[in-house]
Structure 1
Amino acid sequence: MPEITWEEPYCAEGSACYRIGVDGGGNSYIAIAGREDAYLTDSADALRQLIRDIKAGKADHLLAD
C-alpha cells in the first residue's frame, strides 16, 4: 500500500464524509472517511472533476449504498 497523506474529511449535509489524499509519486486518492483502505485513485484532475460533479448533484446515484 502506498504511503498516502490524507486531508481532513469533507462532510456534506446528509451524506458520507470523504477524504482526499496524495502520495509521494503525485497520485491522488479519494475514500470514504474511516475506510481509507478502500480508495479510488486517479489523476488529481480526474478526481477534482469527480468531486465537482458530486457537489453539483450529477452523481447522487453513485453515492447510495
Structure 2
Amino acid sequence: MPDITWEAPFCQDGSNCFRLGTDPEGNAYIALNGREDEYLTDTREALRTLITDIKAGKADHLL
C-alpha cells in the first residue's frame, strides 16, 4: 500500500462519507471513510475535477 496521507472525511448530510488522500509521488486517492484500503487513484488534477464537479451539482447523484 502506498504511503497515503488522508484528509478529514467529507460527509454529505451525515452519510456517504469519503476521504481524499495524496502520496509523495503526486498521486491522488479517494476512498469511502473507514475503507481506505479500497481506494481509487488518479492524478491530483483528475480527482480535483471530479470533486469540483460533484460540489457544483453536476454529479450529485454520486453522493
Matched positions, count: 63
**Over aligned residues, Cα RMSD in angstroms?**
1.5
TM-score in terms of structure 1 length? 0.82
Alpha-carbon distance in 2 for matches of 1:61, 1:12: 12
Deviation of the 1:14 alpha carbon? 5.4
Q: Percent identity?
A: 68
1:1-65 equivalences in 2 (<5 Å): 1-13=1-13, 15-63=15-63
Give 4+ residue runs of structure 1 displaced > 6 Å after superposition.
none
Which whole-Å CA distance do the structure 2 matches of 1:50 and 1:15 have between them?
19
Task: Return the alpha-carbon distance in structure 1 between the equivalents of residues 19 and 54 of structure 2.
Answer: 14
Shift of 1:4: 0.6
Matches of 2:17 and 2:46 in 1, distance apart? Answer: 19
In terms of fraction of residues, the more strand-rich structure is 2
Distance 2:54 2:15 in 1: 11
